[in-house]
Amino acid sequence: MLMYASPSLSMLQGSKQFKHAILKNLLLGLRKGGVASRDMSFHERKNAIRHAADAALATARGVAPCWSRSLTAELSHGRHLRHAKSRPSECKSRSKMVCKNKILRRSLRPRPKSKATAKAARVVVARTMVRRRARALREIVPGGRGMDECTLLGETLDYAVSLKAQVDAMQLLCYC
């Protein structure tokens, strides 16, 4: 398997090498997963493909980002958490993939510190909104739950760029 562990996000973005590493890993994984076999059902094959695609992505990205390590761990536990919203019957026993959104109550009021001005109060409210969004991000970025906000933002960036590369790699395979 190829690892293209680029430390720099800007190098990663739109990088051909990264895409090709994913594609190469994907082909290896597909071969290993035996998806060329005719004995598989549609769902079995699709799940094997998805599994191979995510493994290809995580391996190509390397172990530097937290999301990548988390994804690898999820894969080895036989997860299908994030995808497959369109096929609920494909869920394994874990129902984790449905967002357990605890809806923040609107009654959350800003709690200014003792010497806060009105502006500081607005900042606190804004931070609350940001936290709510951060909570949503935690659900969809692998390993997001264990991260502090700053790490989460950086990981989100990295993950989004990597996902795009995964999509591009799979499109290359689909439309060749």
Task: Point out which residues bind other proteins (CB under 8 A).
Answer: 9, 13, 27, 30-31, 35-36, 38, 42, 45-46, 49-50, 53, 82-86, 113, 115, 120, 122-124, 126-127, 129-130, 132-134, 136-137, 140-141, 148-150, 153-154, 156-157, 159-161, 163-164, 166-167, 170-171, 173-174, 176
**Angle between helical axes of 66-76 and 149-174 (0-180°, round to 10):** 60
- Per 3-state DSSP, the chain is made up of helix, strand and coil in percentages (nearest 5) of 60, 0, 40
Closest CB to other proteins among 4 and 158?
158
Closest CB to other proteins among 4 and 48?
48
- Rounded to an integer, what distance in angstroms lies between the CA atom of residue 30 and that of residue 61? 18
Task: Tell me how far, at minimum, the Cβ of 105 lies from other proteins, in Å.
Answer: 17
- CA 125-144-44 angle, to 5 degrees, is 135
Closest CB to other proteins among 73 and 160?
160
- Exposure string of 51-74, with b = 16+ CB inside 10 Å and e = fewer, is bbbbbbbbbbbbeebbbbbbbbeb
- Rounded to an integer, what distance in angstroms lies between the CA atom of residue 59 and that of residue 63? 8
- Report residue 115 as tokens: 């010497």
Task: Tell me how far, at minimum, the Cβ of 76 lies from other proteins, in Å.
Answer: 19
Closest CB to other proteins among 103 and 150?
150
Task: Tell me how far, at minimum, the Cβ of 45 lies from other proteins, in Å.
Answer: 5
Amino acid at 166: Q
Task: Tell me how far, at minimum, the Cβ of 14 lies from other proteins, in Å.
Answer: 11
Closest CB to other proteins among 103 and 176?
176
Task: Tell me how far, at minimum, the Cβ of 122 lies from other proteins, in Å.
Answer: 8
